[in-house]
Amino acid sequence: MKLLTFFIRPSVNPIDAKVFQVMWSSGDLVLESAEITKVHKFELLGSNAANCVSTLVSKFTYKGTQNVYLPHSTSILKKIDKKCKVAWMQ
């Protein structure tokens, strides 16, 4: 079975993982900052996982045009090698 990964951009246009990688490596997309600004819900799902609903702020430049993106996201965090990492996000 082939796993397909799609990203939904702020423009709402989906792209696949290969195109997303090309965007980052081409220099057309420059991330200036990305941070969680508000946590709406955080719930432990056991000793090694948690669910988080949050608001993010991403500032980036794409082909010379500055953008600010304010998505709400749901994440599943997983403890791997004693560190908390994002295992899934939408």
Which domains occur in the chain, in start order? 29-89 (3.10.450.50)
The answer to whether the pTM exceeds 0.95 is: no
Q: Note the pLDDT tens digit of each residue in 13-50.
A: 788 888 888 888 888 889 899 999 999 999 999 999 99
What is the C-alpha to C-alpha distance for residues 53 and 29, in angstroms, rounded to an integer? 26
Pair 53, 73: CB distance under 8 Å: yes
